[in-house]
Amino acid sequence: MATIRLGDTAPNFTAETSQGTLNFYDYLGDSWGILFSHPADFTPVCTTELGTAAKFKDEFDKRNVKMIALSVDGAESHAEWIKDINEVEKTTVNFPIIADEDRKVATLYDMIHPNADDKLTVRSVFIIAPDKAVKLILTYPASTGRNFYELLRVVDSLQLTAYHKVATPANWEHGQDVVVSPAIPTEQAREMFTKGVEEVKPYLRMTPDPTA
């Protein structure tokens, strides 16, 4: 079983899903992607998560991020579970859920951690850039649901820092000041960032969000 690390190329696969057979790379196209796994169908925390994900889809769409989930149960089970999710969360699941009964995708993405459970997947999150590089990995225990506001915040940071020579400080949210890359001398930074550069320390320079 391979371990996936930041910067690695996300493994491609073809799988059955709640929306038919799809190839992962074809599904993503030139978009960003977010792949998140669930231990099993008809589990309580996962039901709330998938319903919440459906409600957040418009926000991910605005950021050119395609969503896809995974559970180790089959497509028929997914179809029945989706009915429950839609009812409980008063929404419509509007993205594919991978049917991974043979654990093929879970194994590719190292989603089964035997010390936690030798059959069920942990709650993994992978954010993947258009070039298919893995940009973020999060792993939650089965007992802890994800925070989708945090996932949107992380996407905003990843996309900003992918296209501008900046980093985002603690608790940063879109529109707030960002950190100038340490590799850029201050005088050069002042030419690049026309909204201004504040030198807090020689190694800590702040500038307004260039996209705001």
Q: Where are the alpha helices (DSSP H) in the chain?
A: 24-28, 44-62, 75-89, 104-108, 148-163, 186-192
- Kindly state whether residues 115 and 185 are assigned to the same domain: no
Q: What DSSP string describes 142-157?
A: TT----HHHHHHHHHH
Evaluate whether residue 8 is within a structural domain: no
Evaluate whether residue 176 is within a structural domain: yes
In the prediction, which pLDDT does 15 show? 97
Task: Specify the higher pLDDT residue, 180 or 141.
Answer: 180
Evaluate whether residue 80 is within a structural domain: yes
Domain boundary among 103, 119, 146: 146
- Kindly state whether residues 95 and 194 are assigned to the same domain: no
- Kindly state whether residues 106 and 30 are assigned to the same domain: yes
Catalytic residue among 15, 28, 35, 46: 46
Evaluate whether residue 112 is within a structural domain: yes
Mean of pLDDT over the chain: 92
Task: State what percent of residues in the chain have pLDDT above 90.
Answer: 80
- Kindly state whether residues 141 and 181 are assigned to the same domain: no
For 49, the 3-state DSSP assignment is: helix
- Kindly state whether residues 174 and 136 are assigned to the same domain: no
Number of domains the chain is built from: 2
- Kindly state whether residues 140 and 169 are assigned to the same domain: no
- Kindly state whether residues 111 and 191 are assigned to the same domain: no
Give me the CATH number covering residue 98. 3.40.30.10
Domain boundary among 95, 111, 146: 146
Evaluate whether residue 9 is within a structural domain: no
- Kindly state whether residues 72 and 133 are assigned to the same domain: yes
Domain that holds residue 58: 14-146
- Kindly state whether residues 35 and 93 are assigned to the same domain: yes
Evaluate whether residue 75 is within a structural domain: yes
Evaluate whether residue 3 is within a structural domain: no
Q: How confident is the model at residue 41 (pLDDT cuts 50, 70, 90)?
A: confident
Q: Is 46 part of the annotated catalytic residue set?
A: yes
- Kindly state whether residues 82 and 177 are assigned to the same domain: no
Evaluate whether residue 153 is within a structural domain: no
Q: Write out the H or E segment, with its range, that includes residue 136.
A: strand 134-140
Task: State what percent of residues in the chain have pLDDT above 70.
Answer: 94
* Stretch among 42-51, 99-108, 110-119, 150-159 having the lowest mean pLDDT: 110-119
Q: How confident is the model at residue 112 (pLDDT cuts 50, 70, 90)?
A: confident
Q: Is the pTM of this model over 0.85?
A: yes
- Kindly state whether residues 126 and 171 are assigned to the same domain: no
- Kindly state whether residues 35 and 140 are assigned to the same domain: yes
In the prediction, which pLDDT does 155 show? 98
pLDDT at position 58 over 90: yes
